[in-house]
């Protein structure tokens, strides 16, 4: 398959970072849109060490239309893995959890 530029939302997370490694190994370019949520990465995290250096990390929120617009520039395909950490605490904040997993993609599709 010809090389593609692929956006992964939540690309700095567990699934996204492993997917990045696999896509890079297959010759694709990878961009990640990730807010580096403190719940997942700890306070003040800038870029996780395990994230491949070839990944074009854009720090931003999938609920931010402008951040999504920038991240989608010249992209061929999108994997959506951004999600709020599903801890008991996050579950008490159902609206925020729902917005990360559903409004984010709606923001992409409406572009
Ligand atoms: N880990 C598993 O074993 C597993 C299994 C099945 C399905 N999944 C699904 O895969 C997806 C990703 O899981 P994971 O384990 O990689 O989660 P994770 O918590 O490791 O990664 C999620 C990433 O999303 C980012 N994020 C959170 N809210 C965001 C927002 N509003 N905008 C941008 N980035 C945001 C976080 O900073 C984090 O880097 C989830 O939907 C999960 O349900 C995971």
Distance between Cα 82 and ligand 1 center (Å): 5
State phi, psi for 96 to the nearest 5 degrees.
-70, -40
Calculate ∠ Cα 91-58-21, nearest 5°. Answer: 85
Q: Which residues line ligand 1 (CB under 6 A)?
A: 9-10, 12-16, 33-37, 40-41, 61-63, 81-85, 100
Domains and CATH numbers, the chain: 5-109 (3.40.50.720)
State phi, psi for 58 to the nearest 5 degrees.
-110, 115
- Predicted confidence pLDDT, tens digits, the chain (111 residues): 799 999 999 999 999 999 999 999 999 999 999 999 999 999 999 999 999 999 999 999 999 999 999 999 999 999 999 998 664 434 445 555 555 566 555 655 555
CA–CA separation, 61 and 91 (whole Å): 19
Of the chain, the end-to-end C-alpha distance in Å amounts to 26
């Amino acid at each position: 398959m010809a090389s593609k530029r692929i956006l992964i939302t939540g690309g700095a997370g567990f699934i996204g970072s492993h997917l990045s490694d696999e896509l890079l190994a297959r010759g694709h370019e990878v961009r990640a849109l990730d807010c580096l949520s403190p719940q997942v990465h700890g306070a003040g995290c800038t870029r996780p060490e395990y994230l491949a250096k070839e990944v074009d990390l854009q720090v931003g929120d999938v609920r931010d239309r402008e951040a999504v617009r920038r991240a989608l520039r010249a992209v061929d395909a999108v994997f959506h893995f951004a999600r709020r950490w599903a801890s008991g605490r996050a579950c008490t904040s159902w609206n925020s959890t729902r917005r990360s997993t559903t409004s984010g993609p709606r923001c992409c599709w409406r572009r």
